[in-house]
Structure 1
């Protein structure tokens, strides 16, 4: 079996070095993309507010479908609903007289505080100069 002789010229060697350099750039770009994704995920996770609901709490449910309809003064919160059980990973099972039991994401809920809100009034007397 005859041996094959490979002759690498200066141009061929230069081309191989350029291809290796392209691979290094690609790997570096991939690593930078991974670092960026990790940092942006950590930044977004800081904004998440953990909400803990107990059984029997009254809550309001954010209805995102109202965004489709025009109406500035229309409330996007429906309810009140009663929390039946708080499930793992932020899911909450709620109950309503009209709809019964159903599960929702806990991020779409907020506490419902029943009763009149006490308004604090203050008087400021302005005197002419």
Structure 2
């Protein structure tokens, strides 16, 4: 009975690994490309219809281990992000939102 359970668990692990490998996307980024950035910390306006992708941003350089240096064309600001948080920008208009929060001193 234990041997059967062991074989069953090995089979399950192998199938799960194959399924998860299919989900991994091979994204190759080059300097000068346009990309969208996934913003997981977007909690100011909760809602199902709010897009979690912002951009487009330009890739300034590609660093080692998947780090990408982005540049905002509007402000010229640059910063590093993990390449897993990016996807290729295919064109079209993207609405840019700017939120300004005024803080009051107590």
TM tier, smaller: 0.5 to 0.7
Name the structure 2 match of 1:60: 36
Q: How does 1:90-105 map to 2 (within 5 A)?
A: 91-96=66-71, 97-98=76-77, 100-105=78-83
Out of 69, 88, 104, the residue aligned to residue 111 of structure 1 is 88
Secondary structure at 2:8 match in 1 = helix
Please list every run of 5 or more consecutive structure 1 residues that lacks an aligned counterpart in the other structure.
1-24, 117-129
CA RMSD of aligned residues (A): 2.6
Find the structure with the greater CA-based Rg.
Answer: 1
Write out aligned runs for 1:1-20 (5 A).
Answer: none
2:83 and 2:54 mapped to 1: Cα distance?
15
Instruction: Write out the 4+ residue segments of structure 1 that deviate beyond 3 Å after TM superposition.
Output: 113-116
TM-score, normalised by the number of residues in structure 1: 0.54
Residue 77 in 1 paired to residue 27 in 2? no
Q: How many residues align?
A: 88
More displaced, 77-86 or 34-43?
Answer: 77-86
- Select the structure with the greater relative contact order (CA < 8 A; seq sep ≥ 6): 2
Gaps of 5+ in 2: 94-106
Which structure has more helix as a fraction of its residues? 1
**Deviation at 1:114?**
4.4
